[in-house]
Structure 1
Amino acid sequence: MTDSTDLPAPLAEIRDSFLELGERDRLQLLLEFAGELPELPERYAASPALLEKVEECQSPVRAFAEVEADGVHFYATAPREAPTTRGFASILAQGLTGLTPQQVLAVPDDFAMTLGLTRAVSPLRLNGMTGMLTRAKRQIRTQLHPA
């Protein structure tokens, strides 16, 4: 398991918030995150095809990590009818945005498994969050080192 000292502060705070709660309350916190998924910027809202489809997600999820002068911005869209997936997208949007590309690339791939949700959420849903993170890292690498 990932130690919170290995994580950038925003992700460590999110992780610790989950682990401070009992199992039942963790799912509730995930649902609260679902309600906090940031809206897409207009350029993505008008052209959702600019976001990459996350195949690992059972729900139609699209995401993109953008490297800007002020750090990484992670954008995602997930249907309201898929609150756990939407919650995971929101965790990444809130936890990755503002980090340096190097900080995002250093986030352990098993981050989803460190939230204490393995008994509350199906492995397929956790794989979806891992898929979002994996894509974000690949997108960042591509922007840092274009072919």
Structure 2
Amino acid sequence: MTDPVLSLPELPEKLAAIASMFRSAPKPLRLQALLEYSKKLPPVPEKYLEHPEFMQAVPECASPFFLVTEQEAGNVKMFFKVPPEAPTVRGYAGILTEGLQGATPEEILNVPDQFYMDMGLSELITPMRLRGMGAILHRLKNAVRENAAH
């Protein structure tokens, strides 16, 4: 039997591997993995910290969440600013960073809007936080579209 997450053409390879790992892990390990991803989130470059007006807020997220994307040689670089006091949301940002950093705009735009629901996160996270995750992906896709249009 093939793994349905890995067989989804919409998920870039790295994100598919992360999603598959989460889905197959027992609940306590999923939470631990999410917290590990929160620690892996790279810092926001100084140029954005000095000029926060370039970062987009995600007001639908319960935690203060900001993102910015850049395109370099046809690939997307993304940065997320999330406070350490929001480890699950930071973990999701870490997953997006690890799974999508360097992807093409098309790969990011093709990620299913609810892909994170197949990772077993609904057993770990409140519905309000899950809605915030959906909003984060939606805002990320909008930022990628805007950059691609320029």
2:7 aligned to 5, 8, 20, which one?
5
- Partners of 1:125 and 1:73 lie apart in 2 by 24
Establish whether residue 129 from structure 1 lines up as the match of residue 133 from structure 2: yes
Which residue of 43, 48, 52 maps to 1:48? 52
- The unaligned stretches of length 5 or more in structure 2 are none
Higher alpha-carbon deviation: 41-50 or 129-138: 41-50
Indicate whether 1:69 and 2:73 are aligned: yes
State the distance in 1 between where 2:96 and 2:79 align: 9
Distance in 2, matches of 1:67 and 1:45, equals 19
TM-score computed with the length of structure 2 as normaliser: 0.90
Match of residue 96 from structure 1? 100
Q: Which structure has more helix as a fraction of its residues?
A: 2
The letter for the 1-side match of 2:56 is E
Residue by residue over 1:54-104, the C-alpha shift from the partner in whole angstroms, topping out at 9 and shown as x without a partner, is 112101010122222151111101110110011111111111111011100
Q: In 2, are the aligned partners of 1:52 and 1:64 still within 8 Å (CA)?
A: yes
CA RMSD of aligned residues (A): 1.4
Q: Percent of aligned positions with the same letter in both sequences?
A: 41
Structure 1, unaligned stretches of length 5 or more? none
Q: In structure 2, which of residues 123, 144, 148 is the aligned counterpart of residue 144 of structure 1?
A: 148
